[in-house]
Amino acid sequence: MKTVVICIIILLVVSIGCREKSSEDRINVLLILLDTVRADHLHCYGYPRETTPTIDSLAGMGTRWIQVQAQSSWTLPAMTSIFTGTTERTHRAGLRNGKAFGLSEYLETMPVLLKDAGYTTGAFFNVPVMAPSYGFTRGFDYFDCRGCSIETTKAEEVVDSFINWMDNRNRSNASPFFVALHLFDPHSPYDPPDPFRTMWTDPDYSGPDWPRSTAAELITGYNSGEIDSTALTHMINSYDGEIAYTDSQLRRVFNYLHEKGHADNTLIILVADHGEEFGEHGGVLHGFQLYQETTRVPLIITGPGISIGYIDHNVVGQIDILPSLLEYLKIPVPEQVEGRNIIGLNENAEPVMLPASGFITTRDIIVTRLGSRKVFWNSSDDTSVMYDLTADREENNPLQADSELVEGARYYWTTPAMFDPLPVPGQEMFSEKLKDLGYL
């Protein structure tokens, strides 16, 4: 009898162990990458317009970080930081001397790590700098970048592709999924479909159609004074329409997850790569400066075990996303990672200095942030200025820079790069498109 009981116990233990490792019980992961979405234009981040009812609901079901520092103010280096947990100084993805550099083949990336852990991986991208030649395909079983060649496509088409892939996968694959879903629409030109096109625009506006102009035209128009305050308001209204349209497509994504029974077993991470400037500091678009309008981005995480309706006030960065995900899934974190796990981080946690860099036009300015203090350091002449983001959220009142943050910027600038990617081949085919987007 004793032997029988022992055998039963062993069988139960083995059964439980197998259940813990069952693919059906493992958490799915959906990474939503919003292009060019500044945090302060989302309703759940305090924006008066109801631009984001779907994202607002997502935030209510999970944790929302309200002080998120992007590691760059444009797509390529920022996306690389999200996928690798490293800063621009480490991964070196970006533009230098007129050449583009993508992901180093030696970098551990989010899709590679999750694929190695048994996930089926799918990517749905929509911008040339995430094309296969930039290295973003590594680790993905399925890679759809229909906007990576010449023309970007609307969010509806990207979501359609995601749903079709999921339907095919559901019929043939029981393993957990990791999906990276990139929606480009809030990027210029601001041209949302009806009814979002006229949702907030003034019907009496009769000026030039700046929202649908190229980046080069916008920059020239703003610098020449042709884009006055009325035209700038019209641009903002159209930009908000793009955000609302993108939000409507996310509703389709979340409805699909509910209909297919994935909602309760999927970790959803929503983050933007960078924001957008509308004249706050003498310019438009992004990639040319590192003020908050281009580097403060939304971050929302929902899923099993994530605090519901919680607002986290810690200052965090895009480099924190990968280690947070890996520790949540109990996957070892690579040594390259410079971020930390921020899920469940104590509100009194020690602040961490966060750098930002990766200009398109100049690489002389480095930003370091510690708590509410944010320093801009110019490497070419060793000058610096600081802003207190608690008292001066618009960064209009420069202060004498804190020496600790200046030293942090110098250290960041002089630290040898950990990786040295090769120039992206075949850049000629993208050059005109990148110029239209403002990246060249």
Residue (of 273, 225, 240, 253) closest to 34 by Cα position: 273
Q: What is the pLDDT of residue 18?
A: 36
Query: Do residues 280 and 41 make contact, with C-beta atoms less than 8 angstroms apart?
Result: no
Which band of pLDDT confidence, cut at 50, 70 and 90, is reported for residue 8?
A: very low
CA distances from 286 to 51, 187, 277 (A): 21, 10, 6
Mean pLDDT of 229-250: 98
User: Cα separations (Å) of 14 from 2, 299, 329?
Assistant: 19, 39, 21
Which residues share a beta bridge with 3?
none
Q: Encode pLDDT of 251-309 as tens digits.
A: 999 999 999 999 999 999 999 999 999 999 999 999 989 999 999 999 999 999 999 99
Which secondary structure element, helix H or strand E, spans residue 272, and what is its range? strand 266-272
Please name the residues in contact with 155: beta carbons below 8 A apart, sequence gap of 6 or more. 183, 184, 185, 245, 246, 249
111-133 in b/e form (b: 16+ CB < 10 A) is bbbbbeeebbbbbbbbbbbbbbb
Half-sphere exposure of 297 (CA within 13 A, CB side): 35
Is the pLDDT confidence value at 209 over 90? yes
Instruction: Evaluate if residue 205 carries a pLDDT over 60.
Output: yes
Binned at pLDDT 50, 70 and 90, residue 176 comes out as: very high
Q: What sign results for the dihedral spanned by CA atoms 79, 365, 393, 369?
A: positive
Mean pLDDT of all residues in 364-376: 94
**What is the model's pLDDT at position 3?**
44
The chain-wide mean pLDDT, for the chain, equals: 90
Cβ burial 266-303 (10 Å sphere, 16+ → b, else e): bbbbbbbbbbbbbebeebbbbbbbbbbbbbbbbbbbbb
Name which residue leads in pLDDT, 285 or 7.
285
Tokens, residue 430: 């993208």
Which amino acid, 402?
A: D
What confidence tens digit (pLDDT) does each residue in 53-90 have? 999 999 999 999 999 999 999 999 999 999 999 999 99
- Domains in the chain (CATH in brackets) are 25-349 (3.40.720.10)
Peptide linkage before 334 cis (omega within 30 of 0): no
d(C-alpha 257, C-alpha 209), whole Å: 38
In this structure, the strands spanning 299-302 and 365-370 are unpaired
Tokens of 7: 């055998």
CA–CA separation, 266 and 281 (whole Å): 40
Rounded to whole angstroms, how far apart are CA atoms 93 and 423?
9
Are 119 and 180 a contacting pair, CB within 8 Å?
no
How far is 413 from 246, CA to CA, in rounded Å? 37
**Residue range 158-181: average pLDDT?**
90
pLDDT band at 2 (very low <50, low <70, confident <90, very high): very low
Cα dihedral 189→192→193→197 (10° resolution): -110
pLDDT band at 13 (very low <50, low <70, confident <90, very high): very low
Residue 98 confidence (pLDDT): 76
